[in-house]
Amino acid sequence: MYQSNTTKLYSVYYCIRGLRSGNACNHSVQNRLSSRLLSKNLKIKIYRTIILPVLLYGCETWSLTLREERKLRVFENMVLRRIFGPRSDEVTGEWRILHNEELNDLYSSPNIVRVIKSRRMRWAGHVARMGEERGCIGYWWGSRRERDHWGDLGVDGWIILGWISRR
C-alpha cells in the first residue's frame, strides 16, 4: 500500500503526541504506581484505565515504523518497571531492575504494539463494513493547484490542508 510523506508525517506526529500525553499521564500517577500500599493488580488497573487510553487515542490510524514501535515498548516497560518495582537477586542479594523478559512474564497482557495492531485490524473491519452512503468525508486527486479536482473537504479539511501545505 502506498503512503504519501504527508500521511507518514501525520502518523509520526500523532504517535509522538500520544507518547507525550501518555508520559504526562504517567507522571501524574507515578507516586501511586510506585507506592507499596497499593497492590500490583490495582496498579495494573490504573495503567490500563488511565494511561493506556490516553496513550493510544487514535492509534488505529497510525502507521508505525520500527523506531516508533521501539519508543512505545520502552514507554510501556518504563511504566511496568515502576509498577513491579526492583527485585532482589537470589545469588548476590542486591536489588536490581527487572529485565524485559521478566516484565513480559509478570504482565500477562499483550504488549502495546500488539494492542495497536489489533485495534488497527478491528478499525479496518469497521471501515470495510461501512455502507456506500457513509463513504469518505473528502478526497482529492491531481494537482493541488487545480481546484476542480477537489472533493468536498469541509471547513476542517481546508484547515488541515492548509497546515499540510505550510510544512
* Interval 134-152: pLDDT, tens: 655 544 444 445 454 444 4
Backbone angles phi, psi at 95, to 5 degrees: -80, 140
Grid coordinates given for 58: 487514535
- Span 52-94, pLDDT tens digits: 999 999 888 888 889 999 999 999 999 999 999 888 888 888 9
Grid coordinates given for 154: 469541509
Q: What is the DSSP letter of 125?
A: H
Quote the pLDDT of residue 163.
47
Q: Which residues contact 26 (CB under 8 A, 6 or more apart)?
A: 33, 51, 75, 78, 79, 82
